[in-house]
């Protein structure tokens, strides 16, 4: 990619990964610029990191949308053209056996919030959307409107565990509770599940007997700040390809899985 990568970012909190990305853009480690920063949380201190650099910011208050739904669910409408039943049939976030009322609240409020995110983002062109501590799962409604070409995903996330272990909101905590000897972080593309998308890169660290949750998080964050910019730069260089692999077993079953292949630098010979 000759021109700089245009990066949009979504955050929920302090934005330490956002800071690492901003600094990597400024130093040239990433051939790109952050074009906007959005948040689901009006109090997210990471928004200040963007404002200090005169990067446009916006907020879609998810909690306020959820409160509105709880007070008046009958008057809550999805955006025009959204087939809520079809979207629910494609998602992999909530089981069919979950409480129907809670399930409907989740998807109606998410689509309402995501439509506002998309409206803000429409005025700010981007090539890649990075989730930098964005603590909201995305639905097919949002994903399909960002991933215009399904074979070239462009929503990237960083997770505080070595996926597929410990998906969810507390990867480092789960790592400690399970008694793991190794921890780490993962960068992956987003799909319809929770932290189930194809893996781009991972970094690991040893867990010592004297380590605490605090020291493990500190080790993990240090690696996150290295890994995320490196994976974004691979995207900027056009070196990420999502392909499907098929594993065939002796009993005749097949397992299909999308994976990310990292191509060699342009001009380099493949081994």
pLDDT tens digit sequence for 142-177: 999 999 998 899 999 999 999 999 999 999 999 999
Query: Quick one: average pLDDT of 241-257?
Result: 90
- The residues assigned a catalytic role are 159
Q: Evaluate if residue 263 carries a pLDDT over 90.
A: yes
How is domain 5-240 classified at the architecture level of CATH? 3-Layer(aba) Sandwich (3.40)
Is the model more confident about 49 or about 251?
49
271 pLDDT higher than 90: no
DSSP code string of 82-101? --HHHHHHH--SS-TTS-HH
Tens digit of each residue's pLDDT (9 = 90 or more) over 10-20: 999 999 999 99
The answer to whether residues 220 and 160 touch, using CB atoms and an 8 Å cutoff, is yes
Whether residue 139 contacts residue 166, with contact meaning beta carbons closer than 8 Å, is answered with: no
**Which pLDDT does position 104 carry in this prediction?**
83
Q: How are beta strands 155-159 and 182-189 bridged, if at all? A: antiparallel
Q: Residue 73 has what pLDDT?
A: 79
Q: Average pLDDT for residues 182-205, to the nearest whole number? A: 97
Residue among 177, 175, 202, 174 nearest 260 (CA): 202
Residue 76: strand, helix, or coil? coil
Mean pLDDT of 188-214: 97
| Average pLDDT value for the chain | 93
| Residue of 105 and 42 predicted with greater confidence | 42
Note the pLDDT of residue 269.
Answer: 59
> Domains of the chain: which residue ranges?
5-240
Specify the pLDDT at position 19: 98
User: Is 1 a residue whose pLDDT tops 60?
Assistant: no
**H-type alpha helices, the chain:** 16-27, 46-51, 62-71, 84-90, 100-122, 140-146, 171-177, 213-236
């Amino acid at each position: 990619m000759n021109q700089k990568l245009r990066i949009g970012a979504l955050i929920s909190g302090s934005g330490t990964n956002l800071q690492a990305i901003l600094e990597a853009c400024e130093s040239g480690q990433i051939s790109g610029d952050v074009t906007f920063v959005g948040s689901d949380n009006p109090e997210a201190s990471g928004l200040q990191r963007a404002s200090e650099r005169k990067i446009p910011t916006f907020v879609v208050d998810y909690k306020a949308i959820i409160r509105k739904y709880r007070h008046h669910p009958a008057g809550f409408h999805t955006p025009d053209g959204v087939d809520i039943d079809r979207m629910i049939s494609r998602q992999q976030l909530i089981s069919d056996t979950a409480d129907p009322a809670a399930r409907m609240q989740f998807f109606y409020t998410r689509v309402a919030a995501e439509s506002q995110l998309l409206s803000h983002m429409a005025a700010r062109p981007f090539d890649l959307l990075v989730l930098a501590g964005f603590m909201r799962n995305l639905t097919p409604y949002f994903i399909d409107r960002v991933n215009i070409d399904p074979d070239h995903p462009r929503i990237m996330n960083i997770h505080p565990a070595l996926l597929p272990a410990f998906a969810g909101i507390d990867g480092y905590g789960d790592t400690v509770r399970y008694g793991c000897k190794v921890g780490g972080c993962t960068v992956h593309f987003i799909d319809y599940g929770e932290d189930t998308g194809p893996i781009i890169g991972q970094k690991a660290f040893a867990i010592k007997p004297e380590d605490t949750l605090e020291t493990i998080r500190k080790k993990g964050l240090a690696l996150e700040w290295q890994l995320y910019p490196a994976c974004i730069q691979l995207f900027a260089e056009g070196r990420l390809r999502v392909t499907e692999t098929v594993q065939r077993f002796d009993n005749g079953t097949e397992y299909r899985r999308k994976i990310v292949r990292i191509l060699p630098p342009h001009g380099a010979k493949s081994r």
